[in-house]
Structure 1
Amino acid sequence: MNTAHDLPTTIPAYLERLRQSLQGCDPALAQDALYDAEDYLRSELAANPGKSEADVIAAVAGSYGAPDEVADIYRDTEARVQTALRAPPPPPRKSVLGRFFGVLVDPHTYGSLFYMLLALATGTFYFTWAVTGLSLSLGLAILIIGIPFAILFIGATRVLALVEGRIVEVMLGERMPRRPVYTDRSLPWLQRIGAMFTDPRTWGTVGYFLAMQPLGVAYFAVAVTTLALGAGFIALPFAHWFGFDANIDIELFGFVDPSSPWIWPLSIAVGIVLIVAMLHLARLVGYLHGKLAKALLVSNRAW
């Protein structure tokens, strides 16, 4: 039980205590908790202009909670939400074949695969946005309109980071922030702009957007090429069966005649293995990309 003298006496001290209490939890969860706490405390301070920060913190401690209590609440709530949303795990498989083909019934597999296909469009948009915004910001810097444009570009980029975070969380299963980094509206606007430009997360987001173009092209090319190749191997015997392979080179396999009946089951097996291997690769790409997104899009204040 926290007593009045145990409570921090300033909002920054409260947030620092909360940050310490959140050590070891997901950084995205910490960013959300810190945003909620700062927004709530500063709103209470603004609503009670006659009170000091210490008085406001003491007054809300009973309803909102002390820093360690708030941290425990967020941990417990997150655990319950994640348990409720998490898809049932596939049954354990001991055999090699069971583990290899088990990826077919894992819902995260298809989210990762769809992300790889979608990344061509989102990566192109993010890359175009970042390059155009940076170029115009630098090009217009000598004009009076340059500064407002740069501020608008950076602000919109931070909003897009939240959008990408939601896409990553839904498709890849990586917990991402649901709140932005809090901006103290009581500060002078020049300080708020300066904080936005000096926040490493701002430039991490720009770097992420620039990297999404080559990553998106690579993801899309690998996924489409491998899936098409696997589907082609599976379809080849059926194409021959129905007479659609008149233009297929007789030496397609290099050393056998694809019209030989015994090669048909082998062709189908190779196609299936290629597709399942692609699904395993999609899972790996989804895991690694989720970690990259968290490293570049989550505020370093939450780490």
Structure 2
Amino acid sequence: MNATVLPTTIPEYLDQLRRALAGADPALIQDALYDAEEYLRSEMAEQPGKSEAEVISSVAGSYGAPEEVADIYRDTEVKVQTALRPPAPPPRRSWLGRFFGVVAEPRAYAALFYMVLALATGIFYFTWVVTGLSVSAGMLVLIIGIPLLILFVGSVRLLSLVEGRIVEVMLGERMPRRPLYSPRGMPWMERIKQMFTDPRTWGTFVYMLLMLPLGIVYFTTALTLVSTALTLIVAPVAVWTGWAEVSLATDVEGVLFVSDGVLSTSLDPWALPLMLVVGVLLLFLTLHVARGIGYLHGQLAKHLLVKGAQQA
């Protein structure tokens, strides 16, 4: 279709906009479609008596044709992502520089915090989905069961937006900032049918259920790595500063323990410097693990919570 020929209906406008954004981030496409329909519908409400073709023609100069809107969204996305992206650390060529340089990457700390937070969000999401499904299924024999099920599915889709914002802020993966696009002119029954047949709905259910085991794994991994690293660092420092002493007792062993009210360690003095080095290395390794898990989880969230580009 010639780019100068304006569509005559809102669905045609949105379809052209979708095609013009082909290849863009699925989350960006979802936001653009929602914003465009929201704007066009509001213009229709403010100009009663005019047809959709007349309204689209009147706003083409201010809002833009589909191809122009697509270009604006692409350019704006680049500027916004550039502004929000944390400053890139200086490039490091050696493997030692790359290994220790993780300490200067804010995304690694954010991913580590997400791993700790994932336990709480995972418990909430899992409980919400399991409780909602069981209550809705049990109430289907009653008249109230169907609207209750619809409200529950809608609440899960809303929670996916909340989780998307958490993922984008902490893990840096672009997620939708608007609800999933659904034609406003579509009859209610068709919209409800679309909600239940949309793969994204069921992908969200899978994501919410997965968050509990993933949250447990993330929390346990983060807590174990951080606590172990800090213990290995604190123990020799505590001995050298007099806060702890080397215990000669054979019945109690450990990196740090309390013996007769005194903080002690059973390690030989020659092992203390080695323990400190291992603790520091483990702390840096923990940041690398957190960054890697954050990237992988961001891809999982993108795959399950965002409608794919081929479906957008």
TM-score, normalized by the shorter chain, greater than 0.5:
yes
- For the 8 Å contact 1:200–1:300, the answer to whether it is kept is no
> Does residue 290 of the first structure (1) align with residue 291 of the second (2)?
no
Alignment of 1:216-255 (within 5 A): 216-241=215-240, 242-243=243-244, 246=247
Counterpart contact for 1:39–1:182, Cα < 8 Å:
no
Q: TM-score when scaled to structure 1?
A: 0.91
Q: Which amino acid aligns with 1:269?
A: V
Give the match's secondary structure for 2:179. coil
* Cα drift, residue 261 of structure 1: 3.0
Where 2:141 maps in the other structure, the secondary structure is: coil
> TM-score under structure 2 normalisation?
0.89
| Aligned CA distance change for structure 1 residues 206 and 259 (closer, same or farther; 3 Å) | closer
Q: Which moved more, 1:115-124 or 1:267-276?
A: 267-276
Q: Which position in structure 2 is the counterpart of 1:153?
A: 152
- SS where residue 89 of structure 1 aligns? coil
Distance 1:49 1:216, change over 3 A: same
Encode CA deviations 1:168-190: one digit per residue, 9 max, x unaligned. Answer: 01100111110002344444332
Point out the more displaced range, 32-41 or 213-222. Answer: 32-41
Report the equivalent of 2:25: 26
CA distance, structure 2, for counterparts of residue 178 and residue 29 of structure 1: 8
Match of 1:200 in 2: 199
Q: Choose from 286, 296, 306 the match for 1:278.
A: 286
Gapped regions of structure 1 (runs ≥ 5): none
Structure 2 counterpart of 1:189? 188
Separation (CA, whole Å) in 2 of partners of 1:223 and 1:146: 41
Hey, what's the Cα distance between the residues in 1 that align with 2:147 and 2:283? 50
**Which one is further off, 37-46 or 89-98?**
37-46
Q: What is the number of equivalent residue pairs in this alignment?
A: 298
Over residues 108-164 of structure 1, what are the superposed CA-to-partner deviations in whole Å (9 max), with x where a residue is unaligned? 001100000000000010000011111111111111121121111111111111110
CA distance in 1, matches of 2:208, 2:3: 44
The code of the aligned residue for 2:196 comes to F
What are the Cα deviations for residues 187-215 of structure 1, in whole angstroms up to 9, with x where unaligned?
Answer: 43322222222222111111110010000
State how far apart, in whole Å, the 2-side matches of 1:157 and 1:49 are.
Answer: 35
Aligned to 2:258: none
Give distance in 2, aligned partners of 1:136 and 1:245: 59
Q: CA RMSD in A?
A: 2.2
SS in 1 for 2:158: helix
Give the match's secondary structure for 1:65.
Answer: coil
Over 3 Å counting, the alpha-carbon distance change for 1:135 and 1:245 in structure 2 is farther
Q: Which amino acid aligns with 1:37?
A: A
Instruction: Give the Cα–Cα distance (whole angstroms) in 1 for the partners of residues 51 and 250 of structure 2.
Output: 82
The verdict on how the C-alpha distance between 1:226 and 1:195 changes in structure 2, with shifts beyond 3 A counting, is: same
CA deviation after TM superposition for structure 1 residue 226, in Å: 1.1
Q: Which residues of 2 match residues 139-178 of structure 1 at below 5 A?
A: 139-178=138-177
**8 Å contact kept, 1:239–1:245:** no
Instruction: Write out the 4+ residue segments of structure 1 that deviate beyond 4 Å after TM superposition.
Output: 247-253
Q: Distance in 1 between matches of 2:11 and 2:251?
A: 72
**Where does residue 137 of structure 2 map in the other structure?**
138
Residue of 265, 269, 272 corresponding to 2:273 = 265
Read off the aligned partner of 2:284 and give its amino acid letter: V
Separation of aligned partners in 2, 1:174 and 1:63: 31
Is the CA contact 2:3–2:67 (under 8 Å) kept in the aligned structure 1?
Answer: no
Per mean C-alpha deviation after superposition, the further-off stretch among 102-111 and 271-280 is 271-280
Contact 2:246 2:266 in 1 (8 A): no
2:281 maps to amino acid:
V
**Could you say what secondary structure the match of 2:277 adopts?**
helix
